[in-house]
Amino acid sequence: MARIVTAGASGEGGQRWLRCSLCAHHWRFARTICPVCGNEDQDKLEFFFAEGRERERVDLCRQCGKYVVTLDVRGLDAPPAWEVAALGLAHLDWLAQERGLAPAAWTPWKRVD
């Protein structure tokens, strides 16, 4: 299974793109489905963000307890440097893990002890 580091929303419709932390491949994925367990129950899919940083959020699934850090790039002049974007979102990993959630994919910078 691909190791998902970060997801991005782009375009007017808010398309969801996932990016693999191993090979940097990215692919389009449905916004309303958990990319880990496939859950489609909207009552179990949630998100949260740090105040004042609404472009950066955690998409989470209450069914499997996993989360994906997301960066909404709609309206930006240029795309972010995806190679380092996940590091800039590490504060969201900390917040999610404090809430008892586990990342969709473990990477060295997601380890919060």
**Environment class of 23 (CB within 10 Å of its CB; exposed 0-12, middle 13-18, buried 19+):** exposed
In the chain, % of residues over pLDDT 70: 83
Lowest mean pLDDT among 11-15, 62-66, 86-90: 11-15
pLDDT for the residue 1: 37
Distance CA 11, CA 21 (A): 23
- pLDDT tens, position by position, 4-46: 444 555 555 678 889 887 788 889 999 899 999 999 999 999 9
Q: Which two tokens stand for residue 98?
A: 């404090």
Give the pLDDT mean for 50-58.
91
pLDDT for the residue 30: 93
Lowest mean pLDDT among 35-49, 64-78, 99-113: 99-113
The domains of the chain are located at: 4-107
Q: Which two tokens stand for residue 90?
A: 């590490």
pLDDT for the residue 3: 43
Sign of CA dihedral 26, 30, 31, 33: negative
